[in-house]
Amino acid sequence: MGRTGRDKRYDVVVCGGGAAGIGAAVGAARSGARVALLEQAPFLGGAATRSGVLTYCGFWTQAEPPQVAVAGVGAEVLDALDRLGGMSGPIRTERTHVVIALIEPEALKLALDRICGGAGGIDVILHGRLAAAETDRTTVRSAVALDHEDMFALEAAAFVDASGEADLAHFARAATRYGDVDGRVQNGTLAMRIGGIPRDADISRVAWAGAVRDAKARGAERMTKEQGLVARLPHSGEVIAFLADEAYDARDARSVSAAERHAREQAWAYVEAIRALPGHERAYLIATGPAIGTRESRHVVARAQLNGADVLGARIPPDTVALGAWPVETHPGPGVPSIWKRLRGDGAYGIALDTLVSATHRNLFAAGRVLDADADAFASARVMGTAFATGHAAGVAAALLADGRSADVAAVRAELHRQNAILDLEQEPASR
Ligand SMILES: Cc1cc2nc3c(=O)[nH]c(=O)nc-3n(C[C@H](O)[C@H](O)[C@H](O)COP(=O)(O)OP(=O)(O)OC[C@H]3O[C@@H](n4cnc5c(N)ncnc54)[C@H](O)[C@@H]3O)c2cc1C
């Protein structure tokens, strides 16, 4: 690409401003790097703000009492949300007895603006879509973004792919894989935010499932699922629900568009169905998505793969750079009930640095749901608490590499310790 005045050089470029991208950008900046954080949406937050996924999972173990498994950048985000009155938790859910926090999307947008602004050295570029990458054999040279003006290059010594779709790895021609080894992906779901339901109304899954079944018996169509997560937001009292499942190819705009059109029909049908319940008569749809929530798309093929046996066995290897604490939670297809498997002792497992380093491109790191994992391991490591942690680790590793310092496991762990990340459950967190 010919240089233009809008091209710029950084130490680290992070593609994607979701949980993983925030962890990576702040972690890299705190390690001394000049960072570009590229996000196509008009705000940061990823699935939480773009797709209405407003329950943070993976920050705590499922033990009684729960233990903190993710601190560092993730804990800063929780603290900032708390200060804005935009979070309730940790709380244990009724049916699955898992530990989550409920968050308000507007509070999250502001909290993330402030955290990235306050970290120093992060150039946040919203409304910029990664459209290409320039590589020199096995080294990524630049990420090429597109806005309403033209293309512009973000050059750097190291890159973090936190795009959820592994767009950067794909455009850089690094090795990627769609879904698990057989090309299967978990289904997506369009979130619904519903108003008009008083706080004392029964919003249990059982009550809603009954209403959906009754509506189907009366001839209603289109609703794929009877039961899914239904929860009330802490501040607004709005109800969120994950019911409208779809199967589609997240890489293909036509496929995603068709899924979203169909899912919006589903959302209206669900609201119509629940209006039959006591206290739900005035229920109305505040918002869907806005974008459908994609659980799984491409993964970066890394130097190592996180495997389900180690995740379920809650093993913490010596090369751990992040902890995962969420059970294995698989969504096998539209309308098919989710499958849960608990971790041994309701503990946590370690995620090795090599699962975040591209197998083919020496200066490319993976963070969040693009990490390399088999189906069971992915079904746990994909959640947002863990994405903050893998992002933090990838950002620190990228910054060390960019600075010419060693990005080996010992150096990355030492820097993560300095930045209050948790690498072992025995460790006392600095906050939370
Ligand atoms: C329906 C659903 C329910 C879920 N429930 C939960 C839950 O309750 N709790 C939980 O913790 N997790 C949940 N998850 C999982 C979780 O939301 C994701 O796995 C997590 O958000 C992954 O974080 P990430 O930062 O890797 O990716 P994302 O949050 O997907 O962020 C990726 C970011 O990259 C940006 N991006 C992508 N491509 C480009 C490009 N080419 N150029 C510029 N920007 C780009 C996107 O706009 C996005 O902001 C759920 C997921 C879904 C879909």
Q: What is the pLDDT of residue 261?
A: 97
Q: What is the pLDDT of residue 95?
A: 76
Q: Which has the closest alpha carbon to 322: 392, 376, 383?
A: 392
* CA of residue 164 to ligand 1 center, whole Å: 6
Q: Which stretches of the chain drop beneath a pLDDT of 70?
A: 1-3, 428-432
- Residue having the nearest C-alpha atom to atom 7 of ligand 1: 55
Give the tens place of pLDDT for each residue, 135-172: 999 999 999 999 999 999 999 999 999 999 999 999 99
Q: Please tell me the distance from the alpha carbon of residue 427 to that of residue 425, in angstroms, as a whole number.
A: 5
* CA of residue 46 to ligand 1 center, whole Å: 5
- Residue having the nearest C-alpha atom to atom 26 of ligand 1: 368
Looking only at the bridges linking them, the beta strands covering 99-103 and 55-57 are antiparallel
Atom of ligand 1 nearest to the CA of 47: 29
Is any ligand 1 atom within 6 A of the Cβ of residue 80?
no
Q: What is the pLDDT of residue 235?
A: 83
Is any ligand 1 atom within 6 A of the Cβ of residue 369?
yes
Phi, psi of 325 (to 5 degrees): -135, 5
Atom of ligand 1 nearest to the CA of 293: 53
* CA of residue 293 to ligand 1 center, whole Å: 7
* CA of residue 401 to ligand 1 center, whole Å: 26
Is any ligand 1 atom within 6 A of the Cβ of residue 170?
no
Is any ligand 1 atom within 6 A of the Cβ of residue 74?
no
Size (the chain), residues: 432
Distances (CA, A) of 262 to 248, 313, 400: 11, 39, 45
Residue 325 and residue 271 in contact, taking contact as beta carbons nearer than 8 Å? no
